[in-house]
Amino acid sequence: MKRFITLIILLLSSTVIFAANAATDLEGGFKLGPAIIMITILVIFVMVGIIFRAKNTNDFYAAGRGISKVGSGMAIASNWMSAASFLGMAALMYGSGYHGLSYVVGWTGGYVLLLILMAGQIRKYGKYTAADFIGDRYYSRTLRAVAAVIAILISIAYCVGQFGGIGLLFKWIMGIEYWLAVVIGGSVVLTYTLISGMLGVTKNMQIQYVIIIISFLIPLFILTFKFDYFWLLPQIGYGSVVSDIVGGIPLAETADLVNKYGHEFAMVPMPEYAMPWDPATGQTFFQWIAIAFSLMIGTAGLPHVLQRFYVVPNAKDARWSVVWGLFFICILYWSAPVYSAFGQILSAHPEIGALEKDAIVVYTAQLGNIHPLIVGFLAAGGVSAAFSTVSGLLVAGSSAFAHDLYVKVFRPDSSPKIQLRMARYGTVVMAVIVASIALLKLALIGQLVAVAFSLAGCTIFPLFLLGIWWSGSNKQGAIAGLIAGGLVSLIAIAYFIAGTQGVTLPFNEFIDYYLGAWYFAVFGAPLAIIVHIIVAKLTPETPIEIRKFLTESVHS
Amino acid sequence: METNNQEYRISFFKPSNPQTTANRNMVLWLLLIWTVAIFGFHVVLKLIEEPTPEPILLSYQEVSQNVYQGNASLNEMQTFAKVPLQVLSKVFIVPEERIELQNALNWAIFQIADDEEKDALKAEIANFKAIEEKTTDILAQDYQQAKIELMAVAAPMLGLSDRDVRTKILPLELNTEYPQNMSEENIAQLETVLNKYLIHNESVLTNMTVLGFPFHYFYTAVFLLILFVVLCWIYCVRTDVLNKKYGIDD
C-alpha cells in the first residue's frame, strides 16, 4: 500500500515539472502547475490519513496519545492557522498598516489567557465538547442545547471567511469567476472533510503544518534576498522594508530592482503604513485596543480550540502543547507582515490598480517575480491552511449538532449509526449555508473570522472562565450572562448586516463604532461576566456535587 | 447538610490552600505583565504621540497663500503642484479624494504652462488617454511610448527629474478636465485630504529604530509575540515545579 502511494506521489510530482511555465499574469487563466501542486497536496493528506487511520473511537478522540508535545503543538498550530492567518492578516496590514497588527497580537496573545486560565483545568474536567462542559457544569440540558447552537453558529461564522479564502485561491488557480470558485472549492472541501473526517487526524495535522509553513516561508527568503534586505531571517530583515516605506525609497538607489511589470522598487514616503492609528487608515486607537482584546478573549472561548485540550493525555501535556502550539503559530505570524510590506512597495505604482487585498500574499509573490511554481506552492499552502481549519470546524459543528443536540437533547436512544448519519447531514447543510454566505463577500477574510471570535468571547468565554474559577457561578447566572452576551452579539451583527444591505438603523454610527462587528466582545464579554456574577449572587447556589467535583477533580 | 454546604467553594481570588495560592499569585503576575505589555504600551504610545506633518505638507503651507492669490513664482507653483502629486503616489487613496487631488494637480500644471505648452500638454494627454483606454496590457509598446512622451512634456513643467518617483506616476494623474480656478470650496476639500494623508501620529517610540524597524512596530509585531511564548513557557515550568512541590500528579 505504502509503495503504491509513493508511486502516485512521484508520478504527480513529475507532472508538476512539465507544467512549469503555465502560470503567468496576476489573475490570468487556468494555472496547471499550481493546480497539480494543490491536488497532489490534498491527495497526500488523504493518503496519510489512510495510512495512519484511527483504529478505534478512543484512538480517534484521543488523536494519538503517543504523540509528543511538539507534535501536538504542531497539530494545535495547523488546526489554528486558517485562511485568516495565511491570507487575511497580510491583507489587513496591507490595507490599514499598523491597525492590522492588532489582529496579529489578538490572535496570539489569547493563547496566554487560554493557557494560564483554562487549558489544564479543561483537561481535568474531562468532557468531549464545549457544550458537554457547559451542560454539565451548569446542570442544564437547555444550556447544553443553547451552547451547541452557539458552537454551530461560531463554526459557521468562522467558516465563511475560510470559504472566501478558498474561493479566492481557486479563482486564482483555475482562472474562473469568484462564485464558481466558491462552489467548486466548497464542494472539494466538503468531500475532503467527509473522507478525512473518518480518518485519524493528528498525524495529518502535523504534515499540514509543515506544508503550510514551508510554502509560506520560501517566498520570503526569495523576496528579501532579491530586493537586497537581510534574508537569512526575513522576519527581522523586513524591518528595514518597513522603515523604507515610512521614509520613502528614492529611484536612484534601486536602479535595477523592478517588479513583474518593470516598475522600479521605489515609492514616496508612506508613514501611514507604520504609524499607529493613522488618520489615513480611518482606524482609531479605540478600535486597535478593541480588536486586540476581542480576539484574545475570543481565542479562549472558541469551541474547536477548547476541544483540543480534551484529547491530550494529561493536564501537563495540555499545558506544554500550548507553548509549542503558540510558538509554531508565531512563526507564521512573525512572517505575515513581510508579505504586506513587500506588497506595499511592489504594488505602489498606480498602474497595478486596486488589488484584491485578501489575495495580496499571492500577488506579492507574483509581483516580486518569484517562480510561478513557488507561487503555486504558496497558493496550495493557503488552500491547505483553509482546508485543515474548515474540516476541523465542520466536524466540530456537525458533532455539536449530532452529539450535543440530536442525541443528548432530542433522541437519546438513537444508535451510533444514526448519529453518524446525522453528523454527515449536518456537515453538508453547514457547508451549503457557509458557501451561500461566502458568496456575498461581506468583508475581508480576517474581519469575517473576527466576528466568530467576538461571538465566542461574548458567549462561551464567560461560561468557561467563571465555570472553572468560581463555584458560585450557577445555572441562573449562566443563563442571564448568556442572554446579555447574546443580545450584544445580536445587535452588533444585525447592524453589520443592515449596513452591508444599505439599511440605516437608529444610532447607526454610534453602534457601528462602539459595537463594530469585528470587536463587539470588548463590551459584550465584560457585560456578560458582570451580569452572570450579579444574577448568580442573587440566586440559589450551585449543587454540592458539582462544587465537590470542581474542588476535588479540577482544582486538586 | 448546612455545614456541608459551606465546603467545596472555589474562587480564584480566595484560594484555599498553599498550592492554589501559589497558582493564583503566578497567574496574577503573568496577567499583569501581559496587560501592561499589550495595553499599557499602547496607552503610552497614544499619550505621547504628536500629530506630525510630513515635510511636503509644510512646503504646501509655505507656498499655498501666494499660489491661491495668483502671485506665486514659478518655483512656488512647482512646489505646490508636487504636493497633490505626492499624495496621489501613495498606495491607498479613496476615489473621491483622488479626484480632489487630481483637480489641484491639473489646475496647477495648466497654470504653469504658457499657451503653447498648454496645447502640447493637452494633445499629449489626449493621445495617452486614448491609448490607455484601449490597452489591456500595461507592457504594450504603444502604451509605454505614449506614457513616456507625456512624461517628457509634463515633468519639466513641474521641475521633476527623471530619477524622481513621482515623475513615473505623473502621466497617469493628468487630465484635460480640471477646474478653471480653485474655489474656496476646492481649497477646503483639498486641505482636508492633505491633512488626512500627510499628518501622522509620531513620537520618540515611533522614530527610534531597532534592527531596522521603527521601534513601536518591532515591539508589537516581533517582541510581543516572543513575550507571549515566554510567558507561556514560564507558566508551564513554574506549574511543573509547583505541582512537584505539592505532590500533585497530573
Residue range A147-205, pLDDT digits in tens: 999 999 999 999 999 999 999 999 999 888 999 999 999 998 888 888 766 555 556 78
Question: What residues of chain A lie within 8 A of the CB of B195, using their CB?
Answer: 279
Q: How confident is residue A269, by pLDDT bands cut at 50, 70 and 90?
A: very high
- Is the CB of residue A242 less than 8 Å from the CB of residue A388? no
Q: How high is the pLDDT of residue A5? A: 47
Closest CA to A122 of A325, A393, A307, A396: A307
Q: How confident is residue A206, by pLDDT bands cut at 50, 70 and 90?
A: confident
Closest CA to A554 of A106, A175, A122, A206: A122
H/E stretch holding A548: helix A544-549
φ, ψ dihedrals at A258, nearest 5°: -135, 160
Q: What is the mean pLDDT of residues A337-363?
A: 91
Which residue of A96, A116, A253, A346 is the best one to mutate when testing the B interface, meaning the one whose CB has the most B CBs within 10 A?
A: A116
Residue A47 has pLDDT above 90, yes or no: no
Q: Which residues, in sequence order, are bridge partners of residue B50?
A: B202
- Is the CB of residue B71 less than 8 Å from the CB of residue B80? no
Put simply, whether A537 touches B (Cβ < 8 Å) is: no
Determine, for residues B202 and A470 on separate chains, whether the beta-carbon distance falls below 8 Å.
no
Residue A233 has pLDDT above 80, yes or no: yes
Q: How far is A267 from chain B (nearest CA, A)?
A: 6
Where residue B185 falls (left for φ over 0; alpha for ψ -120 to 50; beta otherwise) is: alpha
- Domains defined along chain A, listed by start: 8-448 (1.20.1730.10)
Q: Which of B213, B218, B225 sits opposite A330 (nearest CB)?
A: B225
Q: How high is the pLDDT of residue A91? A: 95
Please classify residue B100 by burial: count the beta carbons closer than 10 Å to its beta carbon, then call 0-12 exposed, 13-18 middle and 19+ buried.
buried
Q: Strand, coil or helix: what is A31? A: coil
Interface size, chain A vs chain B, as Cβ–Cβ contacts under 8 Å: 210
Q: How confident is residue A221, by pLDDT bands cut at 50, 70 and 90?
A: very high
Q: Which of B4, B31, B213 sits opposite A242 (nearest CB)?
A: B213
How many residues are listed for chain A in this entry?
A: 556
Tell me the C-alpha distance between A544 and A421, whole Å: 38
In this predicted structure, which of A85-94, A205-214, A533-542, B102-111 has the lowest mean pLDDT? A205-214
φ, ψ dihedrals at B199, nearest 5°: -115, 130
Q: How high is the pLDDT of residue A25? A: 60
Residue A359 has pLDDT above 80, yes or no: yes
Residue A24 has pLDDT above 60, yes or no: no
Q: How confident is residue B105, by pLDDT bands cut at 50, 70 and 90?
A: very high
In this predicted structure, which of A25-39, A99-113, A358-372, A534-548 has the lowest mean pLDDT? A25-39
Determine, for residues B235 and A348 on separate chains, whether the beta-carbon distance falls below 8 Å.
no
State the average pLDDT for chain A: 86
What share of chain A in percent tops pLDDT 70? 90
Closest CA to B92 of A87, A169, A283: A283
Q: How high is the pLDDT of residue B173? A: 93
Please classify residue A232 by burial: count the beta carbons closer than 10 Å to its beta carbon, then call 0-12 exposed, 13-18 middle and 19+ buried.
exposed
In the stretch 105-124 of chain B, residues with CB closer than 8 A to chain A read none
Question: What residues of chain A lie within 8 A of the CB of B236, using their CB?
Answer: 115, 319-320, 322-323
- Domain locations along chain B: 2-48+203-245, 51-202
H/E stretch holding B214: strand B213-214
Q: Which chain B residue has its CA at the smallest distance from A291's CA?
A: B39
Residue A14 has pLDDT above 90, yes or no: no
Put simply, whether A555 touches B (Cβ < 8 Å) is: yes
Write the DSSP string, A385-434: HHHHHHHHHHHHHHHIIIIIIIIIII-TT--HHHHHHHHHHHHHHHHHHH
Determine, for residues A349 and B235 on separate chains, whether the beta-carbon distance falls below 8 Å.
no
Question: What residues of chain A lie within 8 A of the CB of B200, using their CB?
Answer: 271-272, 275, 278-280
DSSP B40: I
Put simply, whether B221 touches A (Cβ < 8 Å) is: yes
Put simply, whether A231 touches B (Cβ < 8 Å) is: no
Non-local (6+) Cβ contacts of B146 within 8 A are B124, B127, B128, B131, B132
- Is the CB of residue A440 less than 8 Å from the CB of residue A508? no
Put simply, whether A95 touches B (Cβ < 8 Å) is: yes
Radius of gyration of chain B (CA): 31
pLDDT in tens, B45-100: 999 999 999 999 999 999 999 999 988 999 999 999 999 999 999 988 888 999 99
Q: How confident is residue B188, by pLDDT bands cut at 50, 70 and 90?
A: very high
Put simply, whether A275 touches B (Cβ < 8 Å) is: yes
Q: How confident is residue A419, by pLDDT bands cut at 50, 70 and 90?
A: confident
Put simply, whether A71 touches B (Cβ < 8 Å) is: no
Strands B50-53 vs B209-210: parallel, antiparallel or unpaired? unpaired
Q: How high is the pLDDT of residue A202? A: 59
